């Protein structure tokens, strides 16, 4: 059966004479036929895409919509079976050697993934619920950290702390130190170094020293600050007598070379380029 459809045509003398000779394209199947329903094919005119022709495709007596095999056949072993067409219950297929059906797992999340664990999905076979399988191939979610929040304010000589907390699990936290270093600008100048002190003969004679401008920490480095950078505390005044906190005492017994290492490490912790390099015993700035 053929039907013609015209939506528009330049000079239609009649529906059969549309004003030009159609240039039909290929027939294209738009609906496949089944065992009970006709299918449909259409073709479109290359001169005007609103010129469309359609035709039926006859019923396909082999295009059944089979249900599950029922019988002795199982997921894993061959056997006999019968299946019924969902389009027409009278279409019945029987076979005494149906190949194993295989499992038909439906997957469901049974252990939710976490920041660090990928979680577990469990598959249950729709043909036999005693057949199950698990999948762990997913990916962990990873932490979802919020912004850094100051949990201990830094102060002169005291190291501050800031923390970020995972939005998925508040027991996941990360902590980093805030290195308080208040600097003072020292302007260029000249001073007299040394003395005639008989206790320190190496200091004689007093002499004039000229220095360019530089920055310097306003406060002495405390034991807490030193330990936070160097992970060691060489000080001897570490007792907490008389209500004093050793953390706030200045660090002592630090060699001149320790100071260079401290400065470089602190620079790196602050994301700055280390200022000093040491070759043998000759530091460079």
Nearer to Zn ion, 112 or 213 (CB): 112
The separation between CA 193 and the C-alpha centre of its own chain, rounded to angstroms, equals: 60
How many angstroms separate the Cα of 4 from the Cα of each of 14, 18, 31, 44? 12, 11, 18, 11
In angstroms, give the least distance from the CB of 174 to Zn ion: 10
In angstroms, give the least distance from the CB of 29 to Zn ion: 19
**How is residue 249 annotated by DSSP?**
S
- CB 136 within 8 Å of CB 118: yes
Residues whose CB is less than 8 angstroms from the CB of residue 48 and which lie 6 or more positions away in sequence, other chains included: 8, 9, 10, 20
Nearer to Zn ion, 117 or 197 (CB): 117
Residue 170: helix, strand or coil by DSSP? coil
Nearer to Zn ion, 131 or 164 (CB): 131
In angstroms, give the least distance from the CB of 65 to Zn ion: 6
Q: Which residues bind Zn ion (CB under 5 A)?
A: 22, 35, 45, 47-48, 51, 64, 75, 85, 87-88, 91, 103, 115, 125, 127-128, 131, 143, 166, 168-169, 172
- CB 246 within 8 Å of CB 227: no
Nearer to Zn ion, 46 or 184 (CB): 46
What is the C-alpha R_g of the chain? 43
Nearer to Zn ion, 47 or 181 (CB): 47
């Amino acid at each position: 059966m053929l039907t013609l459809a015209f939506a528009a045509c330049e000079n239609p003398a009649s529906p059969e004479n549309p004003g030009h000779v159609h240039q039909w394209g290929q027939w294209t199947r738009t609906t496949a036929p089944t065992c009970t329903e006709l299918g449909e094919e259409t073709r479109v005119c290359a001169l005007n895409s609103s010129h469309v022709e359609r035709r039926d495709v006859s019923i396909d007596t082999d295009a059944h919509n089979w249900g599950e095999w029922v019988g002795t056949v199982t997921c894993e072993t061959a056997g006999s079976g019968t299946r019924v067409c969902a389009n027409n219950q009278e279409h019945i297929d029987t076979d005494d050697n149906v190949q194993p059906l295989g499992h038909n797992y439906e997957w469901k999340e049974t252990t939710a993934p976490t920041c660090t664990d990928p979680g577990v999905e469990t598959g249950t076979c729709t043909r036999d619920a005693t057949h199950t399988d698990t999948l762990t191939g997913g990916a962990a979610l990873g932490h979802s950290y919020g912004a850094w929040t100051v949990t201990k304010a830094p102060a002169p000589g005291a190291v501050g702390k800031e923390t970020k907390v995972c939005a998925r699990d508040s027991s996941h936290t990360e902590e980093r130190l805030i290195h308080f270093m208040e600097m003072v600008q020292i302007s260029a100048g000249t001073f007299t170094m040394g003395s005639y002190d008989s206790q320190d003969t190496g200091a004689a004679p007093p002499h004039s020293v000229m220095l360019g401008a530089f920055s310097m920490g306003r406060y002495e480095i405390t034991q807490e600050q030193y330990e936070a950078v160097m992970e060691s505390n060489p000080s001897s005044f570490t007792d907490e007598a008389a209500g004093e906190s050793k953390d706030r005492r200045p660090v002592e017994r630090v060699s001149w070379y320790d100071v260079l290492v401290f400065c470089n490490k602190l620079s790196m912790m602050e994301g700055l380029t280390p200022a000093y390099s040491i070759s043998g015993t000759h530091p460079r700035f």
